[in-house]
């Protein structure tokens, strides 16, 4: 029990004191048991008050403080730091929100607001009186990072992590690095080649000794926690000998007569059974498909010095301090007969179409027929009101429009139709839409309820669509190719990755960050970060931005070699626990395990992994689990505090309603305001003059003068000769 | 079902349309248009039809005729797609599409054709005079006037006039019939009671004579006198002056040449002279006013001029000035000058009539009132249909 | 002031990262709701113990409202299931203690759900006022 408590109630200028009688409250709590200091303050967050608080804590030997002011989202850390500076454990401080959750929403009922504020503050006092001093948990961490996925985000992240001095293991599932951008011939906006970017990044990767790249590699299993993750990486063989003569390998490729489906080009072409995705692909070692060459014994034995069909999967164990997941996305694969896909030959997805364009240098010919008219259908597999993918993939509009612009430059006589639902070429990409629209691409808008219908008519395609821009008129669009502008979906294997690293998955099936605005690359698993499009649809720059912000977070985390984490974790009451295993079952993070304790088995919490979410607490049949800072005692004492009888003299409550806060209604100004008013006294003075006269730091005077100006206590009255400071005088 | 035709946008550009591809379908143009209503919503619809190339739909529309090109749409367009100008281009396109001979399209889309046809008719007139002109007496009448009817007997010219009038009426009326089929008869869903054709006919006359829909473009909320002072009615007034002058002259020349073209020098108060003076002054004021607007390009409606707009003004100007000169020379007893000017006068007059009346800009004099008539027919008939449906 | 209108006292459990910012937002925008609403913020709604809820009713709260994260919860995709389970368990406890199970409610409140929160409060207050047994039990004047 804390019995020397300090209570600070904030006026917040008038934001609180206009509606809540803070004056009366501070007097009331002076009488409270255990409260040593109770004050009402104009601005609790002001530097001057922070100094006063530190002084109070030290002078009165306070063991806990309660600050009743604004939402903890704003100043929690401010007052935690005040406590620390005064030598008080920050866990012995409680913030009470009497602005956002009291004075503002109840500005229509000042008396009730005052009563509520009293209840809230009393709850805060009760809570802090049961608070315990807790120290942050310190964990030592390894300065190495596993980066999962060597697409553009992963490569860029690996390079920068390495540059910052971390050991990096870059794991790529494919045999070649680069990911999706390798398949894009040109990238909006500037039109760089995807493959050139990859070559550049690969060059940088190789120049860092502390990056180890694994291709054809997947994560077999992962365990451990922040600072010490144990990861098993499985590497598939290429079936090419490590020391094979590249010239001979090249000759073997030329001689190879077995062709297989070219997955890199979505089956639009065939490739040899010894292949690279594209000629400049990295690493510069081809891959052999043993299934396809099974019957080619002669060929295999001829090049026995190059090939080794006995190569086996290899598993490596790594220990890393942190994990960055940049596994990217899958392109939505249309269902059979969705807009005729799969049934009608000339219906392609945008990625497939882009490959077709990349493979057709001069003339665009598909299925032996020249292609002139192209109809793009947007939002395929995205923004489904009733379907699974409710989100917008946001980069596909730009990608499709950029493709249509590029087509017109590359080939002659191309006509493009865009059948869209909404165009979302946000940011600079709006220029693409502008250009496409002005050069005469035809935009037709349909509604999800009445999607276009693709039909084969003779040798060409007919798309029937109800155009919402033309009074829902039924139009027929003749096209040689229909391109389905497909959105992004979570990778097929993301479920598995989520299970391996315990990363939560959102309803959109992408990985979930903690907070989309404030913790955008952190996951609830400490030490596991996400970057790029595995988190949700992003374009290339956004992907790289997010992976690089994850790099910054990871580096900050690993830099010192130790990590300090919040003490809000689950605590097991060893006396009560009899190990039923229910808590371990519900824990999403496998933070709870069974241990032996004397003669019985009990649960133990891994402090490094526990997030303090509290899911395990209510499930315990014997109530043996409590979350630090949210103990039964603390919560129940808060409830008692809310309901305790509060006596406030009726006449003391403020009854004026003042929604706008135009006029400051203070019983009295804080002392420094009085001093400032006294100093000016009918004259006009600059901040500098007042500061010298009162012998107070000029920044503090500046802060108060500005606030007094805001609340119309002072008015500006011209500038001094050097035009540096305003004169202030009292408002009449 | 309508098939999208991406090539049409190029066609409509030849009729004078602008950057309509810039349109992003916000609909500001239609919202700001004071003539667009529940029945006829424009100009956005026309832009959309043009972009999609829905020619049947465009040809079945009356909307371009209902527009008086105040320019509000163009000045409020956030993309500078100039919808007002598009309405004018579509109007030209419609004139061409009503004309079953195909000549109109050639005249509108090719300067060579326009100049060629005008030149051809001029030369034809010239040759006719060279070979068939009458005597060129230099002695004057007792009143001191020139014996113009000896050089070009009004009886003969009148015959030519009447045949030309017959020719023009044939083409114009057949084009109007074509228009009727395209606009009214394509509405298979509507039954238009015969009575409506009769009761709505007065609208045609009213709108032909007054162009009163101009006033609907004016949405300023100020008093009538202020508007007069601010010149809100100037455009309408001068347009009316030009139109009435043209109609009067046309009627006198083509219908009553024997009465109009005499060798007698009438006193000034004779109707021939008063009407003649009124019309020539009206024409000149109109031509100068509209040319000045087109030169200055200050108003939205005069910013863009198609070459056929200029040829019409030019032919009209030449016709009017040579007509005045003929009159001046005749009354003042200058025989040779009278004869030559007369030839030049007819060399501009005939191409002006033949090219402009059924095939080009002049035809809007006929198409617009008819369009209003047709649109009223359709609107009233659909109202009746709705009433009938709700009753049953 | 002769304020005789019965304002049911409601205890709200909110979550630090999502629903509590939503409730703050209502204040920020001066959207009014009953001043008899008190909020306790926790990391996750799955961590509420039924025992606390029972304690609140015993101490005189008229209703308990759980402002959950729903599927937005960053801790567990099963958060709604867990929270539902907690409510079911609480209702069993409440029945055993002669408390109308309708006096507990749950809704997902997002981080900008200011209006939904205030309308939930209004509706819940109305429901609580309407409960027959409440009138008898509390003997409060309407």
Domain that holds residue A256: 246-312
- A638 within domain boundaries: no
Nearest CB neighbour to C35, from listed A112, A507, A524: A112
- A286 within domain boundaries: yes
Smallest CA–CA distance, residue A508 to chain C, in Å, is: 10
The dihedral through the CA atoms of B122, B125, B128, B131 has a sign that is negative
Q: What is the mean pLDDT of each run of 10 residues along chain A (732 residues)?
A: 92 88 91 92 90 94 94 90 93 94 91 92 95 89 94 97 96 95 89 93 95 95 85 94 88 90 91 92 91 87 88 92 96 93 93 94 90 95 90 94 93 93 93 90 93 92 94 93 96 91 88 88 91 95 96 93 88 93 89 90 89 93 94 95 80 46 47 82 86 84 82 81 83 75
What ipTM does the predicted assembly reach?
0.93
Token pair, residue A292, equals 């396809």
A 437-496 residues with CB < 8 A to C? none
Q: Same domain, yes or no, for A483 and A495?
A: no
Q: Same domain, yes or no, for A32 and A98?
A: yes
Which portions of chain B are predicted below pLDDT 70?
Answer: none
Token pair, residue A462, equals 């007919």
Q: Same domain, yes or no, for A350 and A484?
A: yes
**Where a domain ends, among A285, A312, A339?**
A312
Phi-psi region of A629 (alpha: psi -120 to 50; beta: other; left: phi over 0): left
- A644 within domain boundaries: no
Report how far apart, in Å, the C-alpha atoms of A505 and of each of A214, A676, C75, C109, C133 are.
Answer: 26, 57, 10, 20, 43
Query: The CATH number of the domain where A464 resides is what?
Result: 3.50.50.60
pLDDT band at C7 (very low <50, low <70, confident <90, very high): confident
Residues of A in contact with C74 (CB under 8 A): 504, 512-515, 524
Q: What's the domain count of chain A?
A: 6
Q: Choosing among A397, A437, A474, which should be mutated to test the B contact, i.e. which has the most B CBs within 10 A?
A: A437
Q: Is the CB of A115 less than 8 angstroms away from the CB of C31? A: no
Residue A666: the pLDDT is 45
Query: The CATH number of the domain where A573 resides is what?
Result: 3.30.70.20
Residue A417: the pLDDT is 95
Q: Omega before A6 cis (within 30°)? A: no
Residue located via tokens 């008899």: C36
Cα–Cα distance between A397 and A456 in angstroms, integer?
25
Residue C1: the pLDDT is 37
Helix (H, G, I), strand (E, B) or coil at B304: coil
Chain centre to alpha carbon of residue B351: 15
Q: Same domain, yes or no, for A287 and A351?
A: no
Q: How many CB atoms lie within 10 A of CB B390?
A: 7
Q: Which chains touch A (3 or more CB pairs under 8 A)?
A: B, C
Residue A297: the pLDDT is 86
- A476 within domain boundaries: yes
Q: Same domain, yes or no, for A35 and A161?
A: no
- A649 within domain boundaries: no
Residue C140: the pLDDT is 47
Mean pLDDT computed over every residue of chain C? 87
Cα–Cα distance between A187 and A635 in angstroms, integer?
55
Query: The CATH number of the domain where A125 resides is what?
Result: 3.40.50
Token pair, residue A418, equals 């865009």
Q: Is the CB of A471 less than 8 angstroms away from the CB of B45? A: yes
Residue A113: the pLDDT is 92
Report how far apart, in Å, the C-alpha atoms of A282 and of each of A200, A287, A352, A503, A544 are.
Answer: 11, 11, 22, 30, 20
Contacts of B60 (CB under 8 A, 6+ apart): B182, B183, B186, B187
Q: Omega before A189 cis (within 30°)? A: yes
Token pair, residue C134, equals 């409440």
Task: Find the Cα–Cα–Cα–Cα dihedral B30, B31, B35, B37, rounded to 10°.
Answer: 90
Residue C133: the pLDDT is 63
- CATH class of the domain defined by C10-138: alpha beta
Q: Is the CB of B48 less than 8 angstroms away from the CB of A470? A: yes
Residue C5: the pLDDT is 63
Residue A652: the pLDDT is 47
Helix (H, G, I), strand (E, B) or coil at C114: helix
**Where a domain ends, among A108, A134, A160?**
A134
Residue A197: the pLDDT is 95
Nearest CB neighbour to A512, from listed C39, C74, C86: C74
Nearest C-alpha in A relative to B21: A438
Residues of A in contact with B4 (CB under 8 A): 417, 442, 444, 475-478
Q: Same domain, yes or no, for A556 and A597?
A: no
A 593-612 residues with CB < 8 A to C? 611-612
Residues of A in contact with B3 (CB under 8 A): 475-478
Q: Same domain, yes or no, for A557 and A570?
A: no
Token pair, residue C124, equals 């819940």
For residue C142, pLDDT beyond 50: no
Q: Same domain, yes or no, for A302 and A416?
A: no
- A181 within domain boundaries: yes
Q: Same domain, yes or no, for A346 and A484?
A: yes
Q: Same domain, yes or no, for A365 and A481?
A: yes
Do residues A618 and A587 make contact, with C-beta atoms less than 8 angstroms apart?
no
Cα–Cα distance between A368 and A364 in angstroms, integer?
10
Q: Choosing among B27, B38, B52, which should be mutated to test the A contact, i.e. which has the most A CBs within 10 A?
A: B52
- A184 within domain boundaries: yes
- A633 within domain boundaries: no
Q: Is the CB of B6 less than 8 angstroms away from the CB of A469? A: no
Residue A531: the pLDDT is 96
């Amino acid at each position: 029990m804390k019995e020397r408590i300090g209570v600070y109630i904030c006026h917040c200028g008038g934001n609180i004191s206009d509606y809540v009688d803070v004056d009366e409250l501070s007097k009331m709590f002076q009488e409270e048991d255990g409260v040593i200091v109770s004050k009402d303050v104009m601005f609790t967050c002001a530097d001057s008050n922070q100094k006063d608080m530190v002084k109070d804590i030290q002078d009165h030997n306070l063991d806990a403080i309660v600050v009743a002011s604004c939402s903890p989202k704003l100043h929690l850390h401010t007052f935690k730091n005040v406590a620390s500076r005064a030598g008080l454990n920050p866990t012995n401080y409680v913030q009470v929100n009497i602005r956002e959750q009291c004075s503002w929403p109840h500005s229509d009922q000042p008396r009730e607001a005052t009563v509520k504020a009293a209840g809230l503050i009393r709850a805060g006092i009760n809570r802090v009186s049961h608070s315990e001093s807790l120290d942050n948990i310190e964990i030592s961490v390894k300065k190495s990072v596993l980066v999962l996925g060597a697409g553009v985000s992963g490569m860029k992240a690996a390079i920068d992590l390495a540059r910052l001095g971390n050991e990096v293991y870059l794991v790529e599932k494919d045999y070649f690095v680069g990911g999706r951008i390798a398949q894009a011939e040109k990238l909006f906006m500037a039109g760089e080649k995807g493959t050139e970017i990859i070559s550049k990044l690969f060059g940088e990767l190789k120049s860092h000794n502390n990056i180890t790249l694994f291709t054809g590699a997947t994560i077999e299993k992962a365990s451990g926690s922040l600072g010490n993750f144990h990861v098993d990486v499985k590497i598939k063989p290429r079936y090419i000998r490590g020391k094979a003569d590249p010239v001979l390998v090249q000759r073997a490729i030329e001689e190879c007569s077995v062709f297989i489906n070219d997955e890199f080009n979505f089956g639009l072409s065939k490739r040899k059974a010894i292949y690279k995705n594209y000629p400049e692909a990295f690493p510069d070692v081809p891959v052999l498909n043993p299934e396809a060459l099974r019957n080619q014994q002669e060929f295999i034995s001829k090049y026995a010095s190059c090939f080794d069909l006995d190569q086996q999967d290899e598993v490596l164990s790594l220990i890393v301090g942190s994990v960055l997941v940049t596994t990217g996305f899958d392109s939505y694969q249309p269902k059979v007969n969705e807009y005729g896909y799969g049934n009608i030959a000339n219906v392609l997805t945008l990625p497939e179409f882009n490959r077709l364009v990349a493979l057709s240098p001069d003339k665009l010919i598909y299925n032996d027929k020249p292609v002139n008219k192209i109809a793009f259908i947007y939002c395929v597999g995205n923004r489904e009101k009733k379907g699974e993918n409710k989100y917008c993939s946001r980069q596909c509009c730009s990608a499709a429009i950029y493709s249509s612009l590029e087509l017109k430059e590359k080939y002659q006589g191309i006509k493009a139709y865009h059948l869209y639902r909404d165009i979302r070429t946000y940011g600079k990409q709006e220029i693409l839409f502008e250009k496409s629209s002005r050069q005469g691409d035809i935009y037709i808008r349909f509604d999800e309820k009445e999607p276009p219908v693709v039909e084969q008519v003779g040798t060409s395609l007919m798309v029937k669509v109800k155009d919402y821009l033309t009074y829902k008129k039924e139009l027929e669009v003749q096209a040689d190719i229909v391109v389905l502008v497909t959105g992004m979906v979570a990778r097929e294997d993301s479920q598995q990755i989520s299970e391996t690293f315990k990363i939560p998955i959102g309803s959109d099936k992408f990985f979930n960050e903690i907070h989309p605005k404030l913790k955008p690359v952190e996951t609830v698993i400490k030490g596991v970060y996400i970057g790029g499009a595995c988190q949700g649809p992003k374009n290339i720059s956004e992907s790289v931005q997010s992976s690089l912000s994850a790099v910054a977070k990871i580096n900050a985390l690993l830099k010192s070699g130790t990590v300090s984490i919040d003490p809000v974790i689950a605590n097991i009451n060893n006396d009560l626990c009899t190990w039923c295993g229910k808590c371990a079952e519900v824990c999403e993070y496998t933070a709870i395990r069974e241990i032996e304790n004397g003669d019985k088995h009990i649960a133990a919490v891994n402090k490094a992994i526990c997030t303090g979410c509290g899911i395990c607490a209510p499930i315990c049949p014997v109530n043996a689990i409590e979350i630090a800072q949210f103990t039964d005692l603390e919560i129940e004492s808060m409830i008692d505090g809310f309901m305790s009888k509060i006596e406030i003299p009726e006449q003391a409550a403020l009854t004026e309603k003042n929604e706008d806060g135009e006029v400051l209604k203070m019983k009295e100004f804080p002392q420094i305001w009085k001093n400032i008013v006294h100093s000016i006294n009918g004259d006009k003075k600059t901040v500098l003059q007042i500061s010298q006269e009162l012998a107070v730091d000029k920044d503090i005077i500046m802060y108060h003068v500005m606030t007094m100006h805001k609340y119309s206590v002072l008015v500006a009255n011209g500038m001094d000769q050097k035009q540096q400071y305003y004169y202030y005088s009292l408002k009449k | 079902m309508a098939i999208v035709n991406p090539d049409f946008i190029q066609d409509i550009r030849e009729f004078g349309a602008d950057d309509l591809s810039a349109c992003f379908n916000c609909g500001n143009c239609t919202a700001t248009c004071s003539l667009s209503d529940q029945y006829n919503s424009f100009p956005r619809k026309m832009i959309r039809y043009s972009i999609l190339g829905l020619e049947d739909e465009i040809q079945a529309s009356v909307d371009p005729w209902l527009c008086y090109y105040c320019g509000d749409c163009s000045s409020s367009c956030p993309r500078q797609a100039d919808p007002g100008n598009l309405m004018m281009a579509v109007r030209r396109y419609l004139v061409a599409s009503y004309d079953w001979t195909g000549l109109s399209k050639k005249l509108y889309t090719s300067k060579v054709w326009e100049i060629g046809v005008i030149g051809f008719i001029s030369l034809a007139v010239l040759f006719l005079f060279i070979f068939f002109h009458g005597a060129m007496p230099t002695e004057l009448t007792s009143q001191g006037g020139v014996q113009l009817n000896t050089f070009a007997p009004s009886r003969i010219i009148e015959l030519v006039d009447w045949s030309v009038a017959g020719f023009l009426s044939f083409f114009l009326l057949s084009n109007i019939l074509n228009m009727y089929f395209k606009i009214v008869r394509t509405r298979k869903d509507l039954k238009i009671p015969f009575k409506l054709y009769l009761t709505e006919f007065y609208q045609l006359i009213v709108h032909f004579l007054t162009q009163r829909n101009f006033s609907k473009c004016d949405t300023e909320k100020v008093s009538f006198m202020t508007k007069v002072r601010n010149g809100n009615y100037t455009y309408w007034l001068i347009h009316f002056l030009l139109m009435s002058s043209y109609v009067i002259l046309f009627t006198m020349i083509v219908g009553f040449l024997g009465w109009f073209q005499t060798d007698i020098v009438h006193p000034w108060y004779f109707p021939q002279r008063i009407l003649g003076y009124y019309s020539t002054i009206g024409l000149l004021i109109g031509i100068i006013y509209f040319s000045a607007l087109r030169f200055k390009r200050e108003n939205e409606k005069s910013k863009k001029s198609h070459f056929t707009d200029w040829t019409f003004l030019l032919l009209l100007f030449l016709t009017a000035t040579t007509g005045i000169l003929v009159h001046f020379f005749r009354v003042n007893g200058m025989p040779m000058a009278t004869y030559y000017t007369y030839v030049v006068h007819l060399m501009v007059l005939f191409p002006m009539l033949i090219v402009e009346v059924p095939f080009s800009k002049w035809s809007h004099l006929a198409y617009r009132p008819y369009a209003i008539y047709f649109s009223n027919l359709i609107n009233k008939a659909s109202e009746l249909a709705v009433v009938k449906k709700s009753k049953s | 002031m002769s304020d005789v209108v019965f304002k049911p006292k409601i205890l709200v459990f909110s979550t630090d990262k999502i629903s509590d910012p939503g409730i703050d937002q209502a204040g920020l925008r001066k959207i009014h709701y009953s001043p008899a609403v008190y909020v306790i913020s926790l990391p996750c709604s799955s961590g509420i113990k039924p025992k606390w809820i029972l304690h609140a009713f015993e101490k005189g709260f008229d209703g308990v409202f759980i402002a959950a994260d729903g599927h937005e919860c960053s801790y567990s995709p099963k958060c709604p299931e867990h929270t539902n389970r907690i409510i079911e368990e609480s209702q069993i406890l409440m029945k055993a203690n002669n408390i109308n199970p309708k006096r507990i409610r749950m809704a997902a409140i997002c981080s900008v759900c200011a209006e939904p929160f205030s309308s939930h409060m209004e509706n819940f207050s109305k429901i609580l006022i309407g409960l027959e047994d409440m009138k008898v039990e509390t003997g409060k004047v309407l």
